[in-house]
């Protein structure tokens, strides 16, 4: 391995090009919640643009809006536990030229406020940015009522909506800045628990452009969110068995990078999708839609299999719902066995 901390193996050329941390070395990996990246990005967006404002549904510390609140108190609004009004107020303020970021747990916004998101925010093409915190089962002990594992599905079907699921805290900061500068309604999904930081300040980020974090020609693993790290670790372990996996960080669910998805399917001949979300209607479903239309190949789906969440430690729940490294490896081997010759 290179002494710089980035991977330098033959299969790590893509990782080196992306300036990734050496994900094969646990000592090189920091564990930071993705929500921290949102908080940092929101502050920077506020510094860059005085029109950026923050509106929160009584969860400023949990969603990491606290820093923005302290630095820009005249641009922060606490609306209380009123998620529908949160969206309606933001849409109205956006119509005056403001760039509102609105935050709550993803289960409540967009979950509870979906009709307002659809009609008041998106139908009118307002410039509102939703920060959906504590998404996925990795929110842990909060349990099923607070674990948003259907939110990608309900958001990606809304016309005009941009949907982003960054892979770590560093990329969450970049995604926050990117949606602040991009006009139109957007949904940014991130998590509560600490998770591996695999990207750096030099790692590029562009909305709608998937990233190849590892190259390979046997199986394409298309992942999003904090499970991208699990996909990389699984690929490294599969390489020891002679299976070369391409790992794609598919951070933008909408608009998805169709050329990258089709190229991966064409080059590898089979695909595994990985997401901390229901397998029905999520990122993997969109990948399947693209490939069904342009280049059909066998696909395996790693995610929550039509179940509700439950209370538990974050990593325990990821493993319980078959989204850990071992489950990704098993899915890759199943996909390889189905590969057409």
Note the pLDDT of residue 4: 35
Q: Across residues 259-282, what is the average pLDDT?
A: 98
Q: Is the pLDDT of residue 12 over 80?
A: no
Distance CA 157, CA 254 (A): 9
Q: Is the pLDDT of residue 341 over 80?
A: no
181 annotated active-site: no
Distance CA 24, CA 234 (A): 10
- Find the length of the chain: 341
Residues 6+ apart with CB under 8 A from 259: none
| Fold agreement (10-23+204-337, 32-197) | yes
Q: Give the Å distances, CA to CA, from 21 to 33, 53, 215, 232.
A: 16, 33, 16, 11
Note the pLDDT of residue 1: 28
C-alpha gyration radius of the chain: 19
Q: How confident is the model at residue 8 (pLDDT cuts 50, 70, 90)?
A: very low
At 285-314, the pLDDT tens digits run 999 999 999 999 999 999 999 999 999 999
Distance CA 199, CA 17 (A): 11
Q: How confident is the model at residue 60 (pLDDT cuts 50, 70, 90)?
A: very high
| Average pLDDT over all residues of the chain | 95
Note the pLDDT of residue 2: 30
Percent of the chain surpassing pLDDT 90: 94
Q: Give the Å distances, CA to CA, from 150 to 143, 204, 292, 324.
A: 14, 28, 22, 19
Note the pLDDT of residue 14: 87
For the chain, domain boundaries? 10-23+204-337, 32-197
Q: Name the helix (H) or strand (E) containing 283.
A: helix 283-294
At 107-142, the pLDDT tens digits run 999 999 999 999 999 999 999 999 999 999 999 999
Instruction: Please report the beta strands in the chain, taking only residues with DSSP state E, as ranges in sequence order.
Output: 30-33, 52-56, 76-78, 99-105, 129-133, 162-164, 186-189, 194-197, 211-214, 219-223, 245-249, 252-254, 271-278, 299-304
Q: Which CATH architecture has domain 32-197?
A: 3-Layer(aba) Sandwich (3.40)
Distance CA 194, CA 150 (A): 21
Distance CA 329, CA 212 (A): 18
Extract the tokens encoding 191: 């998590």
**Residue 262: is it exposed, middle or buried by C-beta count within 10 angstroms (0-12/13-18/19+)?**
middle
Note the pLDDT of residue 11: 61
Distance CA 220, CA 154 (A): 26
Q: Is the pLDDT of residue 18 over 80?
A: yes
Q: Is the pLDDT of residue 6 over 60?
A: no
Q: pTM of the prediction?
A: 0.95
**Considering 83, 194, 275, 300, which one is annotated as catalytic?**
83
Domain 10-23+204-337 has CATH 3.40.30.10: no
Note the pLDDT of residue 13: 81
């Amino acid at each position: 391995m290179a002494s710089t901390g980035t991977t330098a193996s033959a299969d790590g050329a893509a990782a080196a090009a992306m300036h990734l941390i050496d994900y094969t070395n646990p000592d090189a990996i920091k564990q930071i919640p993705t929500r921290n990246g949102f908080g940092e990005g929101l502050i920077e967006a506020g510094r860059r643009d005085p029109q950026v404002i923050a509106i929160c549904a009584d969860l400023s510390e949990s969603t990491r809006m606290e820093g923005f609140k302290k630095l820009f108190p005249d641009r922060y609004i606490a609306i209380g536990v009123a998620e529908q009004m949160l969206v309606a107020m933001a849409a109205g303020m956006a119509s005056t030229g403001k760039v509102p970021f609105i935050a709550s747990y993803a289960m409540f916004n967009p979950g509870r406020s979906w009709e307002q998101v659809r009609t008041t925010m998106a139908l009118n093409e307002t410039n509102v940015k939703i920060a959906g915190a504590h998404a996925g089962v990795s929110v842990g002990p909060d349990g099923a009522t607070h674990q948003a594992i259907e939110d990608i599905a309900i958001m990606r079907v809304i016309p005009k909506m941009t949907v982003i699921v960054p892979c770590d805290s560093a990329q969450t900061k970049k995604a926050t800045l990117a949606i602040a500068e991009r006009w139109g309604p957007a949904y940014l999904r991130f998590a509560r628990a600490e998770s591996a930081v695999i990207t750096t300040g030099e790692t590029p980020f562009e909305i709608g452009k998937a990233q190849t974090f590892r190259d390979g020609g046997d199986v394409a693993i298309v992942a999003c969110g904090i499970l991208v790290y699990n996909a990389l670790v699984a690929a490294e372990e599969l390489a020891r068995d002679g299976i070369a996996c391409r790992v794609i960080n598919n951070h933008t669910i909408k608009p998805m990078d169709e050329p990258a998805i089709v190229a991966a399917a064409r080059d590898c001949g089979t695909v595994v999708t990985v997401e901390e979300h229901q397998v029905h209607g999520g990122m993997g479903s969109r990948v399947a839609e693209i490939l069904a239309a342009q280049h059909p190949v066998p696909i395996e789906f790693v995610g929550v299999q039509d179940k509700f969440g439950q209370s538990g430690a974050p990593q325990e729940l990821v493993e319980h719902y078959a989204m850990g490294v071992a489950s990704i490896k098993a899915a890759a081997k199943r996909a390889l066995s189905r590969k057409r010759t």
